[in-house]
Amino acid sequence: MPNRKERRSGYAAAKRAQKKNIDQIRKKLYCPNILSFEINPVETREFFFSLRKLIDQNNNLLVELSTLRDIDLGAALVLVAEFDRWQRKSCTLLSPKTIEDWDPNIVKKLSSLGFFKILKTVINKKIIESDDKFLIQFISDTLTIGKAAVLLKKKIISIIDNSKNQNTRAYPIYAPLVESMKNAIQHGYPDDISWEGKKFFSEKRWWMAAELDKENQRIQIAFLDLGITIPGTLNTGAATHLGRIHQEDVGRIVQALQYGTSRLRLPHRGKGFENIIRPTKLHVDNAVLIVSGKGLCLIDHAGMPGGWEYETSFGGTLLRWYIKIPQAELAL
């Protein structure tokens, strides 16, 4: 009969073998080197499509982020949101297994954005310690909260020169953010129609964050919902009053921008996109990027939308504003 030491050793070996077998049957999803809907749109879309699919089909999943070398604000917010939704859906706390192998700059950026905060796990503080003062940690909720837009604006101003002469009108983000919250809650997760992924959303949640881009002297603001998408809304048939609906998703996004389409067709609705693109009109370098479904649309100062269509759909709507900072207000 084995003694206590041998029994403990055998038990430990059995546990290691069990863990190895579990890891072998897990599906491992590798992240591309660059996550960006603008710079690397094809691989970024494919990654998030696969991540959503595997999360909804099988919680026994390993996501390998050690391959990631660069990520922009929009993609980072989507990554945060998908992991946030994964935890809420599975009622399981996720834990990074190979964080020591991650790119240090990626760790710092995700830490500043609040990625490790949502994991709610004990991680070596030295590993996630960040000196990046130009990222604003994400804010998330399921309600339209004007105070959240005010808070984000205050945080933006706090990372720019806090001079008394600062022109706060240069950052017209309150109305666009509140409108985006309304759209996410009222249209992004419809209760009255069936749509792909509906059963996996128990709440109508949105996420937003911001970043100071000193190199280009501008503020970037990202807002996200993981709902039906703009093209999906128009595709329900509720917007037939517009006449012929575009076949391509990018065309549907442009159509919504041009006509202020509302799925509900209420007289006081349908002008939301006017608020969303309003910041673009205040400076020649301002713009807003919309990623939804298979489409990507960029609206510049002139209000001329440029569009791109992709094979892989993004399950949600990501808005990303680029707002120029007046030179006198930028702390260099």
Q: Over the stretch 208-226, which tens digit does the pLDDT of each residue have?
A: 999 998 888 889 999 999 9
Whether residue 124 is found in the same domain as residue 168: no
| Per-residue pLDDT band at 15 (split at 50, 70, 90) | low
Amino acid at 184: A
| Per-residue pLDDT band at 257 (split at 50, 70, 90) | confident
Q: Is the dihedral of CA 49, 55, 60, 62 positive or negative?
A: positive
**pLDDT: is 139 or 267 the higher one?**
139
**Cα radius of gyration rounded to whole Å, the chain:** 22
Whether residue 145 is found in the same domain as residue 292: yes
What the block records as the tokens of 21 is 């077998």
Q: Of 105, 132, 159, which marks where a domain is finished?
A: 132
Whether residue 97 is found in the same domain as residue 197: no
pLDDT at residue 72, rounded to an integer: 96
pLDDT at residue 126, rounded to an integer: 60
Q: How far apart are CA 89 and CA 173, in angstroms?
A: 31
- Of 23-27, 136-140, 285-289, which gets the smallest average pLDDT? 23-27
What residues make up the domain containing 10? Answer: 1-132
Q: How far apart are CA 113 and CA 76, in angstroms?
A: 8
Strand pairing partners for 210? 136, 221
Q: Over the stretch 25-71, which tens digit does the pLDDT of each residue have?
A: 568 899 999 999 999 999 999 999 999 999 888 767 889 999 999 99
**pLDDT: is 15 or 213 the higher one?**
213
Could you tell me what percent of the chain has a pLDDT over 90?
A: 37
Whether residue 76 is found in the same domain as residue 147: no
CA dihedral 23, 28, 30, 31 (to 10 degrees): -100
> Are 48 and 224 spatial neighbours (Cβ–Cβ below 8 Å)?
no
pLDDT at residue 133, rounded to an integer: 67
Whether residue 287 is found in the same domain as residue 309: yes
> Are 73 and 320 spatial neighbours (Cβ–Cβ below 8 Å)?
yes
pLDDT at residue 191, rounded to an integer: 84
Q: Of 79, 105, 132, which marks where a domain is finished?
A: 132
> Are 70 and 36 spatial neighbours (Cβ–Cβ below 8 Å)?
yes
pLDDT at residue 165, rounded to an integer: 47
pLDDT at residue 14, rounded to an integer: 52
pLDDT at residue 57, rounded to an integer: 84
Q: Over the stretch 77-114, which tens digit does the pLDDT of each residue have?
A: 999 999 999 888 888 888 887 888 999 899 889 988 98
pLDDT at residue 143, rounded to an integer: 92
Whether residue 150 is found in the same domain as residue 107: no
CA dihedral 85, 79, 224, 215 (to 10 degrees): 160
Whether residue 111 is found in the same domain as residue 23: yes
Query: Which of the given ranges, 195-204, 258-267, 293-302, has the highest pLDDT on average?
Result: 293-302
**pLDDT: is 25 or 274 the higher one?**
274
For residue 135, give the H/E element and its range: strand 135-141
pLDDT at residue 74, rounded to an integer: 97
Whether residue 171 is found in the same domain as residue 283: yes
> What φ, ψ does residue 177 adopt, rounded to 5°?
-70, -45
Structural domain count of the chain = 2
Whether residue 107 is found in the same domain as residue 145: no
With a cut of 70, say whether residue 190 has pLDDT above it: yes
- The average pLDDT across 229-252 equals 70
pLDDT at residue 309, rounded to an integer: 95
pLDDT at residue 180, rounded to an integer: 92
pTM for this entry: 0.84
CATH code of residue 223: 3.30.565.10
Could you tell me what percent of the chain has a pLDDT over 70?
A: 75
> What φ, ψ does residue 152 adopt, rounded to 5°?
-65, -40
Nearest residue to 182 (alpha-carbon basis) of 206, 203, 201, 202: 206
| Per-residue pLDDT band at 158 (split at 50, 70, 90) | confident
Q: How does the average pLDDT of the chain come out, rounded?
A: 80
Whether residue 194 is found in the same domain as residue 49: no
Whether residue 110 is found in the same domain as residue 257: no
Whether residue 304 is found in the same domain as residue 206: yes
For residue 308, give the H/E element and its range: strand 305-324
With a cut of 80, say whether residue 142 has pLDDT above it: yes
pLDDT at residue 332, rounded to an integer: 34
| Per-residue pLDDT band at 266 (split at 50, 70, 90) | very low
Q: Of 110, 132, 154, which marks where a domain is finished?
A: 132
